[in-house]
């Protein structure tokens, strides 16, 4: 574990992660999709988008599975840094990171299962529960439509193009275009 600190960073995966975060921070999600513009709301969108990319790369196997692992590690390193920047003590960070890991893997599993089963209702329900605290099923359904489009574009893209940073997320449509 300690020796991982001395590994050379994968700049390609860093660029992929920056793209994930950039997409998740698109203002349309917070202004038009009703995602709370809070630390938690931004976290939830990063988890959803990053989870889709990690899932696609993992499914591709081989060197792409390694890229998925590095992308996950990059996410967790970013979360660790964010906690420290927010003033969480060295003693408190591991406890919070454990909760973040449980949230990440639980949410990604729920989203992947819904997308693999082409179950837009299950995806919307999971998003409503996680992103909107169970309070906005209509917005969750609109967000589910967009994340379904992201998953389809990822499925169409070659894993090499994703890792090379050539992948572009689809623009989130205005909410009037995504009414289920």
Summarize pLDDT for 31-67 with one digit per residue, the tens: 999 999 999 999 999 999 999 999 999 999 999 999 9
> What's the CA gap between 78 and 84, in Å, rounded?
10
C-alpha count within 13 angstroms, C-beta hemisphere, residue 179: 2
Domains of the chain, by residue range, sit at: 9-174
Tens digit of pLDDT for each residue in 103-142? 999 999 999 999 998 899 999 999 999 999 999 999 999 9
Q: Is 142 exposed, middle or buried (0-12, 13-18, 19+ CB in 10 A)?
A: buried
pLDDT value of residue 6: 42
The model's pTM is 0.88
Q: Where are the alpha helices (DSSP H) in 61-170?
A: 62-85, 92-116, 120-130, 137-156, 159-163
Cβ proximity of 6 and 63 under 8 Å: no
The two structure tokens encoding residue 41: 């709301």
- Work out the percent of the chain whose per-residue pLDDT is above 90: 74
């Amino acid at each position: 574990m300690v020796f991982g600190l001395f590994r050379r960073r994968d700049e390609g995966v860093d660029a992929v992660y920056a793209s994930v975060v950039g997409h998740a921070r698109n203002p349309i999600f917070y202004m038009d999709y009703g995602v709370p513009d809070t630390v938690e709301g931004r976290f939830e969108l990063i988890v959803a988008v990053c989870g889709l990319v990690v899932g696609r790369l993992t499914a591709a196997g081989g060197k792409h599975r390694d890229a998925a692992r590095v992308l996950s590690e990059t996410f967790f390193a970013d979360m660790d840094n964010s906690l420290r920047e927010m003033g969480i003590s060295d003693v408190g960070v591991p406890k919070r990171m454990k909760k973040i890991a449980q949230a990440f893997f639980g949410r990604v599993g729920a989203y992947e299962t819904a997308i693999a089963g082409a179950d837009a209702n299950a995806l919307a329900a999971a998003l409503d529960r996680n992103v909107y605290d169970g309070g906005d099923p209509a917005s969750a359904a609109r967000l589910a439509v967009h994340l379904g489009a992201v998953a389809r574009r990822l499925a169409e893209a070659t894993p090499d193009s994703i890792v090379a940073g050539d992948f572009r997320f689809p623009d989130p449509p205005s909410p009037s275009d995504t009414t289920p």
